[in-house]
Amino acid sequence: MTAKRSGARSKRPQRTGISPPMPEAPSEPSLSRQRIVAAAVELLDAKGIEELTMRRLADRLGSGVMSLYWHVDNKDDVFDLALDSVLEYRGAPQMVQSQDWRGEVAHMLEDWRASMLRHPWSASLLPRRALGPNILSRLELLSRTLSRAGVADADLNAAIWSLWNYVMGATITRASFGLSDEDRAAAQQRVARLGEHYPTIERSRLLLDDDWDGAFRKGLDFLLDGLAPRQ
């Protein structure tokens, strides 16, 4: 279990927003934090966590491996950045107090899940990496919404962690489990072959089930029912 690094990032250059004089170099843009992160996300999408390598990343960017280390602390840093970059929330500005807190929360969590499913490696990275700014923003927005809806301060943290855990769990399961139909069929086959040991699972065809979206929605509703402020 490696400790999560949540501290200051690096003493390296921060993008200032001001671009250098005018070298709009057209062919091989120079290395940058952003380009590295974008390439990492591409690589992760294409090949998965195990296949992300500093060397492969450098190859894809047309640079030497060690050049990456000017922009980035180490491989864990790349993971942190890739994860957070994929979790940016593009929701309504959310300035007005809506009437429908429940719909809002459900929408936020569905969006969270959808973002992670678009990048199936991200869900399993979530619990192991630092909480980046985009993740914190989502948590903040969720907190604010629940708080405004009337959830008592004393219940707020438990409510947030319950929802976080549920969304994360559902998404990880879906991403790792719903991989391929053949895999699931093979797993169910194996259960069947084991004969009488798992009759209920065999009968309900648990491992073949694929209504993940419905199951997610249903469980979420139950949680929200429970979390709803009494009045």
Residues at the contact surface with DNA, assessed by CB under 7 A: 13, 30-31, 52-56, 63-67, 69-71, 74-76
Residues 81 and 33: beta-carbon distance below 8 Å = yes
Query: Closest Cα partner for 159 from 148, 150, 151, 167?
Result: 151
Rounded to a whole number of angstroms, the minimum distance from the CB of residue 127 to DNA is 20
Query: Closer to DNA at the Cβ: 4 or 107?
Result: 4
Q: Taking the CA of residue 155 as centre, how many other CA atoms within 13 Å lie in the half-sphere pointing to its CB?
A: 15
User: Could you tell me how far CA 141 lies from the centroid of its own chain?
Assistant: 16
Angle between helices 101-118 and 212-227 (to 10 degrees): 140
Query: Closer to its own copies at the Cβ: 61 or 130?
Result: 130
CA-to-CA separations, 11 to 14, 64, 72, 132, 211, in angstroms, rounded: 9, 21, 10, 17, 47
Indicate which of its own copies, DNA, none lies near residue 42 (CB less than 5 to 8 Å, by partner kind).
Answer: none
Residues 136 and 126: beta-carbon distance below 8 Å = no
Rounded to a whole number of angstroms, the minimum distance from the CB of residue 195 to DNA is 26
Phi-psi region of 173 (alpha: psi -120 to 50; beta: other; left: phi over 0): alpha
Rounded to a whole number of angstroms, the minimum distance from the CB of residue 159 to DNA is 36
Query: Closer to its own copies at the Cβ: 21 or 226?
Result: 226
Query: Closer to DNA at the Cβ: 40 or 109?
Result: 40
Indicate which of its own copies, DNA, none lies near residue 117 (CB less than 5 to 8 Å, by partner kind).
Answer: none
Rounded to a whole number of angstroms, the minimum distance from the CB of residue 220 to its own copies is 9
Indicate which of DNA, its own copies, none lies near residue 89 (CB less than 5 to 8 Å, by partner kind).
Answer: none
Query: Closer to DNA at the Cβ: 65 or 139?
Result: 65
